[in-house]
Structure 1
Amino acid sequence: MELTVTQLRKELSKALDAAKAGEDVIITERGVPVARLCAVESASLLDKLEADGLITPPAESRAVPRLPEAEAAKDALSSLLSRLRR
């Protein structure tokens, strides 16, 4: 679809509907194309990469386990830092 700037002002909702439908809307000024109105892709990067076949989703959701040793080390580090700051 091609519209002049004046036509775009009058028919903005029509141009937006066309863009939403996947059609490129070329805006011209005195016969010269100056802009293109097109739909915004709202898919996330991961969805896009998956659709292109570049990545595959995980077979199952996995939570990262919290190890008791890591919690103890975190507590020890916090204790040490608080003593050093005094």
Structure 2
Amino acid sequence: MELTVTQLRKDLTKALDAVKAGDEVIVTERGTAIARLGGVESTSLLAQLEADGVLTPPAQSRAVPRLPEAEAAKDALSSLLGRLRR
């Protein structure tokens, strides 16, 4: 179903009934599509993209391990900032 903005304002209930029935409503302004109204999916976007084959989940956890050098650098920076603030 395609409606102009004016028609949508006038017939919002009709448009929402169409969406509830499973239809998609395209809203146009001066002949250009500006919005799409559709039903709310019960699955999450990531689950839908996985089901469509658009993305694949990681094979394993990708947690980044904490490196001792990074902790030491963070401590050194905190110490330096503390001295500069005095």
Q: TM-score, normalised by structure 1?
A: 0.50
Identity %: 65
Q: Tell me the equivalent position of 1:58.
A: 58
Q: TM-score, normalised by structure 2?
A: 0.50
- Residues 17 and 80 of structure 1: CA distance in aligned 2, closer, same or farther (over 3 Å): same
Point out where structure 1 has 5 or more consecutive residues left out of the alignment.
28-32
Q: CA deviation at 1:50?
A: 3.9
Q: Tell me the equivalent position of 2:11.
A: 8
Q: What is the alpha-carbon root mean square deviation over aligned residues?
A: 3.9
- Does the 8 Å CA contact 2:49/2:55 hold for their aligned counterparts? yes
| Residues in 2 aligned to 1:66 and 1:25: alpha-carbon distance in whole angstroms | 50
| Residues in 2 aligned to 1:2 and 1:54: alpha-carbon distance in whole angstroms | 28
| Alpha-carbon displacement from aligned partner over 1:41-67 (angstroms, at most 9, x marks no partner) | 7654x5565455343210122322112
Point out where structure 2 has 5 or more consecutive residues left out of the alignment.
none
